[in-house]
Amino acid sequence: MTAIRDRTILITGGTGSFGNRVATHLASLNPKRIIVYSRDEKKQWEMQHRFPDFDYVIGDVRDPARLADVMRGVDLVFHAAALKQVPSCEAYPYEAFQTNTIGSQNVCDAALRAGVGTVVALSTDKAVKPVNAMGMSKAMMEKIVCSKNQMPLETRFCCVRYGNVMGSRGSVIPLFRKQIEAGGPVTLTVGQMTRFLMTLDESVDLVVHAMTHATGGEVFVRKAPAATVADLARALIVKYGGGAEIPVRTIGIRPGEKVDEVLVNEYEIQRALETDDYFTIYPEYRVPAVTCRYPVGYEYTSANTRRVSGPEEIGALLDRVGLVEYYI
């Protein structure tokens, strides 16, 4: 178990939606110091006005020397820096590789040299059976991070993997809201497409769970409900449309997108420990005695998880999210 109290914590990509929320949560656990590391000067300036007690460092995970400097004296690392937009990564796949894969290797190297206690790297459902450049670069990140503890090390490495974080930058909910405010149309890829729905607070719970339970090499997954994009759009129109008739238009699947997403594939689930809220996927080089209750071939997907559909049910989730995009 890893304690947060009196520890120095580094958050790469710390000015993003997740970084903002995890930093404020960690601050409540009495760490010694929180370092926000990112390459975006403007976002750092904005975040510093809200949270002046954090330390802010300009830097890029592509820069090994800069990482080595900032990693001195750090106890815990949350690695959230990434290129995560599917369309831009499809257009510039080498940039996704440079940041998501090579950048993650750089973070691991710097953490090892600095004697960091635990590194938690953020991944995505798109890394499972990936069909796009973002997912492929994140899949390689998972392999790199989770392979480190094959050898005896003082540093523990693990990943967390989650689906759509509701309201985060670039997610579909702020897009739909802006389209609704403009009178439409709300643009759907295909109505039957399903996506996991997780709040930012739930994503923070997941990384803290990983930080406090990792022994090295695991991928931690938080269970989440899912909805079709058509149901999500209808719920948003009911909640924020003011009773207006907002048109909906189908535009088709974009390059690199799946109809359904997978959080735990059929091979991983055979070596996973399941609780009410989490899956812990153990590395192939250290599989404990776990009993899988699922048949061979079963996967945990956005098509077979708990489905939320009606405006009331989805609206309750939206109430928990709040106006994330509007203040981050």
CA dist., res. 125 & res. 87, Å (int) = 16
Q: One of 126, 138, 223, 258 is an active-site residue; which one?
A: 126
- Asked if residue 93 has pLDDT above 60, the reply is yes
Mean pLDDT of 243-264: 91
- Asked if residue 320 has pLDDT above 90, the reply is no
Mean pLDDT of 287-315: 91
Q: Note the pTM of the prediction, 2 decimals.
A: 0.92
Q: What is the pLDDT confidence band of residue 322, given thresholds at 50, 70 and 90? A: low
In the prediction, which pLDDT does 324 show? 47
Q: What is the pLDDT confidence band of residue 187, given thresholds at 50, 70 and 90? A: very high
Give the mean pLDDT of the chain: 91
- CA triple 239-241-245, angle to 5 deg: 125
Contacts of 85 (CB under 8 A, 6+ apart): 134, 170
Q: Which residues does residue 280 pair with via DSSP β-bridges, in sequence order?
A: 220, 273
248-250 vs 8-12, strand pairing mode: unpaired
Q: What is the pLDDT confidence band of residue 328, given thresholds at 50, 70 and 90? A: very low
- Asked if residue 325 has pLDDT above 60, the reply is no
In the prediction, which pLDDT does 254 show? 84
Which of 103-112, 129-138, 184-193, 198-207 shows the lowest mean pLDDT across its residues?
198-207
Q: Which residue has the higher pLDDT, 169 or 140?
A: 140
In the prediction, which pLDDT does 326 show? 33
Per residue in 155-178, pLDDT (tens digit) is 999 999 988 877 666 678 888 989
Q: Which residue has the higher pLDDT, 35 or 203?
A: 35
CA dist., res. 212 & res. 209, Å (int) = 5
Which of 134-143, 199-208, 271-280 shows the lowest mean pLDDT across its residues?
199-208
In the prediction, which pLDDT does 243 show? 84
- Asked if residue 137 has pLDDT above 80, the reply is yes
Residue type, 24: T
Which of 31-45, 46-60, 312-326 shows the lowest mean pLDDT across its residues?
312-326
Indicate if 126 belongs to the active site. yes
In the prediction, which pLDDT does 2 show? 62
Mean pLDDT of 81-105: 96
Mean pLDDT of 143-164: 95
In the prediction, which pLDDT does 271 show? 95
Q: Which residue has the higher pLDDT, 107 or 184?
A: 107
- Asked if residue 107 has pLDDT above 90, the reply is yes
In the prediction, which pLDDT does 48 show? 93
CA dist., res. 110 & res. 48, Å (int) = 25
